[in-house]
Every structure is written in structure tokens, then in C-alpha cells.
Structure 1
Amino acid sequence: MKALFCYDGPLYKDENGDYFDSILNDQMFQRYFAVADELEVIIRTRPISREQAIKKMSQLTNPMISIIECPNLSSFSGMIINTDKVKKILKERILNADLVFIRLPSVIGNYSIGLCKSLKKKYLVEVVGCPWDSYWNYSIKGKLVAPFSAVMMRRQIRNAPYVLYVTNNFLQKRYPTKGKSIGCSNVELQPATTDVLISRLKKISEYKKNTKLIIGTAAGLDVLYKGQQYIIQALGQLKKQGIDCFEYQLIGGGKGTYLKKVAEMNNVADQIKIIGQMPHDEVFTWLDSIDIYAQPSRQEGLPRAMIEAMSRGIPCIGAKTAGIPELIDNKYIFTNSKTEVEEISNLLLDMRSECCIMERLAFENFHEALKYQRSTLVERRTRFFMSFAE
């Protein structure tokens, strides 16, 4: 049986024609082989040097995966020039597929749904994010696009026959469906042992009054809606009060030029460490080195990085965005409002002042993350995929 996966992506392609990504990798695509023998992936690509790709990403090596490169539709000019080309590619591959998996939000995904309907092809929609949050928090132009994108998404999902949501509640409420559905995160953690929690609790117990606490965030460095600037501003506010006992480390793709400017404006450049993109197999070592994880995003599905941090027993704070409040104690959620910088400052001070708070959060977060172990999620997702395939 042949399956087709449709999504904007992108994937990264080196000078040898090999494909790389940190999320869309062999392990992620393996889930579709529970119901298919072959998988075609229609997606746009971006060039990358092999040296940079090997250092920061995973290479796609499964011989049963074929990449069908799609012209770029992410810009206004791209949509004008490339729409007909994209529809032609999609139609040909959809006709040739037995099962079609469509990931939203994505422009390629929207076109794929229309073609599946007209060609009477069976399809399943994976809902991994909210276009309203994404566009509204991106730019002034984004605010013009957000209502249209959200309405289209609601229409597409409402009438889809099968829908997989990565959240348990948020995306389901905002984009309900009449079809069969399941809530199943994209995050698949390897089994965690209690040794991880014991090590974290020991680390917390050794904090002194003068210990510098390291805050960490894993997210794109040049994407404004990821919100790292609000943590930086909070550190600036604390520094004005004479409190400079925090360091903020950021990993993720991009240069972080804007974030560096924010740090300078808030007089905390010496407290900010931009690490950049990191191979995923090194992320857990980094997580074990930090003390607090922050997810200040204004657009998310269910953040993989936060769940991975929780699996290491890290106390977390996060924005009131999408699925983040489903993961952590509501007392450690800050609002997406004018007061959020002050709220972040207060949360950091609370953790700083009471080790018992951090110990409790470490325990709670570790056990919440156990729900996202690979074996549990693979079983649930596979049952849903098999129902779709039948």
C-alpha cells in the first residue's frame, strides 16, 4: 500500500541531493509504515551545506521514502507563479496513492484536501498548530491573513473524515470536526527512568542563595512569536531591582539578531547566551544542565521541547498558548498580555526563593511527561491509522 504525506515543511537539501531535518526524520516518518509499504512526501525544500546539515540535523535514509519537491508557496509571488505547478504535482501523486496524510496548517495541505475531495481519495488530517495564533502574532500583514486562514482551517477540519490533533483539548475546541478524531501528541519520548528525577532533585537540593540559575528555551531564534524577548525583558526588569542571578540560554535555528538587540536594550547582554541549533541527540545533555525551562511562545501546538524538558524533571514556566496549559501547573502559566513580563519576573523569583517549589514541579513534570512515552503514543496512533486504512 502506498501512502502520501503532504505538508509545507520545509526539508533541507544538501549539495549531494540528500535530505535533512531535525523533526521530519526517519523516526517521525516511521509511523506511516504501520499502514503502508511505501511513502511519498510532497514538500518544499531549502538548500543547506552538507557540513551544516550533518552538524545540526538528521539525514533521511529510509529507502522506502521518496521526496517529491514542491515549488514554494509561502510568499505572495510564489503563490501566483507556482500554484498551477503545485496542483499538477499534487493531483498526479494523489491519484497514485492509496492513503493520503495531510498536515495542517499548510498551503500544500489545503490544496491537497481540495484535490482529495474532487478525486474521491481517502485522507487523514493531522492538526499540529493554529494558523490564527501563528499569523496574528507574526506581523501587521499577518493580522490581515489570520482571520481568513482560521476560517479556512475550521472548514477543512470540520468536514474531514479523519482528524488527528496533537493536543488533548485546545485545537479540538478551536477547530472541531464532524469526522472521527483522536488527540495524540507528535512528541514521542524514549522511556525515562527514575534516576533522571533523582538526579534533578539532588541538583535542586544543592542550590545556594548565590547559585546562578540557568533558564533555557529551545525554539527558532528569528521567529518573533516564539517569545524569547519576553524572558529577556523580564531579566532586564529584575536587573533594575538588583537581581542578576539568572542566565538565559537559547538553542534553535537562526541568528538571534533581534534577541541580541533586546538584550542590549535591557542591559542584560551578559546574561544571555545564544547557543544556536543543536543536534537533537545533544539536546537532553543541554536540558540536564539548565535549571528552569521557559516556553514563552504565542503560537504552538503541543510543544515538544517543553515535554522533553519535563521528562528531565525540569521546573517549567510557559505562556497561556495552545496546549501549553495542558502540560504544567496553571500557577506557572503567564498571560499573553501587557503584564506578562512582570508575571514572568514574579514566577522566576518564586522559584528562586523556594527550593521546595522547584522540587514539587520537578516531580509533577516528570510524571506528566510519562504520558508521552513513545510506546504509549505509537500504540494509540497506530490503532487510529489502521482504522483509517481499513
Structure 2
Amino acid sequence: MKIAVVCDAHIFRTSNNEYWCTSVYGYSFFQRFFDVFEKVRVVARVKEKELPLGEKYLRVDGPNVEIYPVFFFQGPREFLSHIGAVISSLHGFEKSCDVVLYRMPSTTAQMAYLMTRQCSQPKGIEVVYNLHDELVDSILSKPRKIISWLNHICVRNACADRKINGVAYVTKRTLQEYYPSFSRINKPDELHFESHYSTIQYSGKYIGKPKKYKGKKHWLISHVVIHIQSKYRGHETMIRALKKVRENGFDAEIEFIGDGPMVPHFKNLADQLGVGNYVHFIGLLPSAADVNRHLREADIFVYPTHFAGLPRVLIEAMGAALPCISTPVAGIPEILDPEDLVGPDDDKALAKRLIELFNDPEYLERKSRENLEIAKQYTNEILQVKRNKFYEKLKKCVKIK
């Protein structure tokens, strides 16, 4: 059997007809479906591009994974300008597939759902992000909030649609409240069901060992965002907090993993605040093993994001035995205690919490141990069992229908 997976990937096709992406949606991501399905069709935006030497990309296509290219666009303006081309390119993507899975929120997946909700194949949704946080956040412009509201309504309606057989969430409770499934609103049956599991790819081999903090004088703070292209992931908040931490006599520095067009802006801010020598942008790393190595060398992980589902990077940091500070959005409060949550733009609260932690090595060592145990629940070995049960139910719907 073949499953069509409609996702938000940005894929590049080279002249020799190879498909590549910069993060997440490499070939290994789609291997998770092979326990239940023989073949995978990836439905995503594709752009012709020759890859520069030295850049870090992931190969997407491979044995039993094919690409169904969707007209490439970035942002609402380009989407509206080329909506006809997008619709035309999506037409017929479900043909010869037995099951369709939409990963939402995603403009591509939402359009695909609207076009195929009446198709005969069983259909499922994986909800990976909470758009409601964008509606209540002050950082977004009014036009952006209108777009977020429209997307929010579309995802909410899709999850509650009788035509959708199964809905899976990356959170245990939070996303379910905002995007209830048909089975939750009504009653589960053979054709309507839900599940929850993280979509993270995380191998148990990356689980670290508890860290020691007594007597520590130098502090390395870590942060990971693959695409540094907005102010929504807390870089500015961390830089401003670092200034306050150092003014209080603590020898601390930050290591930002990732790359993107906003890097010069954040470097300039660090220089303006006088902490440029203590803020390091190390760029994209070629593998999960390299990210894990950098995380293990850090002392604490900070992720003051405005928006999220259940952040992969947070789980990876916990698996590296790092105490973590983040924000009370989406599913993050499900894995972090309230005292380790601060407002997305509250650099004063972040600095205060960092100083409290630096002065409390016993607490840091306890959180290091506890976070390791939480991360163990999110390894591939455990999550794949949950995914397989959900995919098996979708597959079973083929016979029932």
C-alpha cells in the first residue's frame, strides 16, 4: 500500500533529478511509514535549484519514497499571487495512493485537504503546531493575525470533519483542546479515532548522562533553531538577558545553532549591547550527532519561543541532560515545570531565572536527571509503536470503506 504525506517541506530539485531539503524532511523521516506502508508519496513544494558546495542538505527521495511536486511559493503574498498554479499542481496527487495524511498547519496541506476531502481514500491529520498562540501574541501584525485566524479555523474544521478518519497530535492534551477531532466531539468508532505522539526523530543513542554543576564558574547557554529568519524564537530576548546576567557578575555566553537572514541583525544587537564576544552563531550542523555533541557541551538550554507545538529541540536538549527554560505556549508546559517558564519577550524574567539557576547547583543536577527521564519517553523506539498503531488504523479503514 502507498500513503500520500502532504507536508510543509521546502524541497529543492537539482538538474540530475535529485530532491533535497535543509531540515527535518529527509529520507529518514519518511522511513517511519515503512512499518505499515510499502511506499510513500511526499507531496510538498519543490523548487529547481543547484545546491552550492559546502551547504548542508538532506536527500529526500530514495527507495520507495517518491516526490509529488507542488508549485513553490513562500508566504501568503506569493501563495495568493500563484494560487491557480498551486491548485493545478496539487490536482490528482492522491491518485494511486491508498491513504492520505495531511500534516497541519500547512498552507499546502490545508489546500490539499480542501481539494480532496471528498475523495474515497481514508484520510488522517497530524497536528504539529498551535496557531492559537499566534492569535493572542502581541508581536504579530494585524494582517498576519488575520491569516493565522483563517488557518486556525481551517485546521479546526478539518480535525472535526467527519470525512477525516484519524487525528494525531504532538501533545498529550493542549492541541486537542484547540483542534478537537470528530471522534472526540462525537464518539470513537472504527472509522474515527485519535492518538498523540511526537513527530520527533530521536534515537535513544543520543541520551546523555546526568550533569554535575557544583563549583561551576563558566556557563554555556545553548539555543537551536535551524532557520533563523524571524524574531519569534527568542534570540533577541536571550541576548538582552545575557547582558543582564553578565552585569550581575556571571561568566556566561550563548551558542546559537542554526543559520538564516536574521543572523546579522542579532549579531549587530549583541555588539550594540556590548556582549558580541559572548554570543556565538555557529551555523547549521551537518547531522543530529553534531547537534547532540554541542548540546552535551552546554550547561543549560533556553528556548523563549513565541509559538510551538511540542518543540523537537527542547526534547533533544533534555535528552542531553540539560536543564531547560522555555515559554508557556502550546505543549511546552506538558514537559517543563512552571518555574522554568518565562514570557517570550521577558528578558528580565529570563535573566532572573538564569541567575537563580546558576546559584542553585542542586536544582540543576536534579533537573538534569529528571529531563533525561522525560526525554527517554520520546525516543524512536517508543514513539514508533504509537505511530504504527495510528497508521495501522488508517490502513484498516481501506478495507472497512
Structure 1 and Structure 2 fold alike (TM over 0.5) = yes
When residues 108 and 368 of structure 1 are mapped into structure 2, their CA distance, relative to the original with a 3 A threshold, is: same
Question: Which residue number in structure 1 is paired with residue 144 of structure 2?
Answer: 142
Contact 2:206–2:320 (8 Å) recurs in 1: no
Question: Which residue number in structure 1 is paired with residue 201 of structure 2?
Answer: 188
Question: Which residue number in structure 2 is paired with residue 168 of structure 1?
Answer: 172
- Separation in 2 of the partners of 1:375 and 1:269? 41
- Separation in 2 of the partners of 1:274 and 1:77? 30
- Displacement of 1:100 after TM fit? 0.5
- Separation in 1 of the partners of 2:206 and 2:240? 36
- Separation in 2 of the partners of 1:274 and 1:80? 35
When residues 48 and 345 of structure 1 are mapped into structure 2, their CA distance, relative to the original with a 3 A threshold, is: farther
Structure 1 gaps of 5+ residues are none
Contact 1:7–1:108 (8 Å) recurs in 2: yes
Question: Which residue number in structure 1 is paired with residue 234 of structure 2?
Answer: 227
The sequence identity of aligned pairs, in percent, is 23
Aligned match for 2:209, one of 186, 190, 197: 197
Which is worse superposed, 70-79 or 5-14? 70-79
Deviations 1:282-301 (A, max 9, x none): 11111111111011111111
Listed as ranges, the matches of 1:19-98 within 5 Å are: 19-21=19-21, 22-46=23-47, 49-52=50-53, 55-98=55-98
Aligned match for 2:384, one of 357, 378, 382: 378
SS of residue paired to 2:17: coil
Question: Which residue number in structure 1 is paired with residue 374 of structure 2?
Answer: 368
Question: Which residue number in structure 2 is paired with residue 215 of structure 1?
Answer: 221
Identify the structure with the greater helix proportion. 1
- Separation in 2 of the partners of 1:330 and 1:144? 30
Contact 2:105–2:155 (8 Å) recurs in 1: yes
Aligned match for 1:346, one of 339, 342, 352: 352
CA RMSD of aligned residues (A): 2.2
User: What is the count of residue pairs matched by the alignment?
Assistant: 379
Task: Tell me, yes or no, if structure 1 residue 153 matches structure 2 residue 155.
Answer: yes
- Separation in 2 of the partners of 1:152 and 1:158? 10
Deviations 1:29-56 (A, max 9, x none): 012222322211111134555355x652
SS of residue paired to 1:36: coil
Question: Which residue number in structure 1 is paired with residue 243 of structure 2?
Answer: 236
Listed as ranges, the matches of 1:248-267 within 5 Å are: 248-255=254-261, 256-267=263-274
Question: Which residue number in structure 1 is paired with residue 300 of structure 2?
Answer: 292
- Separation in 2 of the partners of 1:77 and 1:331? 40
Question: Which residue number in structure 1 is paired with residue 339 of structure 2?
Answer: 331
- Separation in 2 of the partners of 1:276 and 1:305? 15
- Displacement of 1:354 after TM fit? 1.6
Question: Which residue number in structure 1 is paired with residue 279 of structure 2?
Answer: 272
Question: Which residue number in structure 1 is paired with residue 188 of structure 2?
Answer: none
- Displacement of 1:14 after TM fit? 4.0
Question: Which residue number in structure 1 is paired with residue 190 of structure 2?
Answer: none
Task: Tell me, yes or no, if structure 1 residue 283 matches structure 2 residue 291.
Answer: yes
Q: Which amino acid aligns with 2:350?
A: I
TM-score w.r.t. structure 1 length? Answer: 0.90
- Separation in 2 of the partners of 1:287 and 1:63? 32
Structure 2 gaps of 5+ residues are 184-192, 397-401
When residues 15 and 232 of structure 1 are mapped into structure 2, their CA distance, relative to the original with a 3 A threshold, is: farther
SS of residue paired to 2:125: strand
Deviations 1:265-291 (A, max 9, x none): 322111100111112231111111111
Q: Which amino acid aligns with 1:278?
A: L
Contact 1:15–1:50 (8 Å) recurs in 2: no
- Separation in 2 of the partners of 1:325 and 1:50? 39
